[in-house]
């Protein structure tokens, strides 16, 4: 199957695109876009890959679902389009950045600037029906994004994997901790941020690790 995705990713993910589960997933997603309101816009489903080619990846942040409100999702986990109010989790992410490294919250919640520096902002499920969180789970996206994480974990070295919350931690459980830096904490959601997200210092820790391995730090 020919999937419109950045070339370096297409080369590595073609075996997934050729599997039966992915064909079934594509059929499901096409039907959803034809009959329902689905986010993000179809052309942005693989936005995280298109903005951050395989060889450019330095950091992987794993989310769960795209935002399911109008105009929010654009293919990057935790990120919203310019001009859209910050969702609560993103507010808390910016609070932790301020506490950790002193950077004030930016005027936009669009995290494209992170992706362009080598942060793969990967949701476990890449599409969602409007207003229905989790509606596209268990249709094949999770198998696909597991493959993405596995390719990076096995074929690259000295990446930073940031796993916020139990869901992301389960998804990244197989990553070799002797080969990569794996950072875990509570999720930035208001329901859990005070249980260990605040004060995790993941942003400074990431940059310290990148610098120690000769990589350019992320401007958070």
How sure is the predictor about 1, in pLDDT bands with cuts at 50, 70 and 90?
A: confident
**Mean pLDDT of all residues in 37-64:** 98
**What single string gives the DSSP state of each residue in 101-151?**
H-PPPPS---THHHHTTTEEEEESS--EETTBTTTTTTSSHHHHHHHHHHH
- Residue 34: per-residue pLDDT: 98
Q: Are 30 and 22 in contact (CB under 8 A)?
A: no
Helix (H, G, I), strand (E, B) or coil at 183: strand
Choose, from 18, 65, 104, 146, the residue flagged as catalytic: 65
Q: Are strands 59-63 and 160-164 parallel, antiparallel or unpaired?
A: parallel
Instruction: Please indicate whether residue 65 is annotated as part of the active site.
Output: yes
Which backbone phi and psi does 139 adopt, to 5 degrees? -120, 5
Average pLDDT over residues 91-101: 98
CA 23, CA 54: separation in Å to the nearest integer? Answer: 23
At 36, the pLDDT band (50, 70, 90 cuts) reads very high
What would the pLDDT profile of 122-152 be if each residue is shown by its tens digit? Answer: 999 999 999 999 999 999 999 999 999 999 9
How does residue 194 score in pLDDT terms, banded at 50, 70 and 90? very high
pLDDT at residue 48 is higher than 90: yes
Contact between residue 121 and residue 79 where contact means Cβ atoms under 8 Å apart: yes
């Amino acid at each position: 199957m020919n999937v419109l995705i950045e070339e370096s990713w297409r080369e590595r993910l073609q075996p997934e695109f050729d599997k039966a589960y992915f064909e079934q997933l594509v059929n499901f997603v096409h039907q959803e876009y034809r009959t329902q309101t689905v986010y993000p816009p179809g052309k942005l489903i693989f936005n995280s890959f298109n903005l951050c080619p395989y060889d450019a990846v330095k950091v992987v942040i794993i989310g769960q679902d795209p935002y399911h409100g109008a105009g929010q999702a654009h293919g990057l986990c935790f990120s919203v389009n310019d001009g859209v109010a910050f969702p609560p989790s993103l507010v808390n992410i910016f609070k932790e950045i301020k506490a950790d490294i002193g950077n004030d919250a930016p005027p936009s919640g669009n995290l494209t600037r992170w992706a362009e520096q080598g942060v793969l902002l990967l949701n476990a499920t890449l599409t969602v029906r409007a207003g229905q969180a989790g509606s596209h789970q268990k249709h094949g996206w999770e198998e696909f994004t597991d493959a993405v994480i596995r390719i990076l974990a096995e074929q690259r070295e000295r990446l930073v994997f940031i796993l916020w919350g139990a869901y992301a931690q389960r998804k990244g459980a197989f990553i070799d901790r002797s080969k990569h830096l794996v950072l875990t904490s509570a999720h930035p959601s208001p329901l859990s941020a005070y249980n260990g997200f605040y004060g995790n210092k993941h942003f400074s820790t990431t940059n310290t690790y990148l610098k120690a391995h000769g990589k350019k730090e992320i401007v958070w």
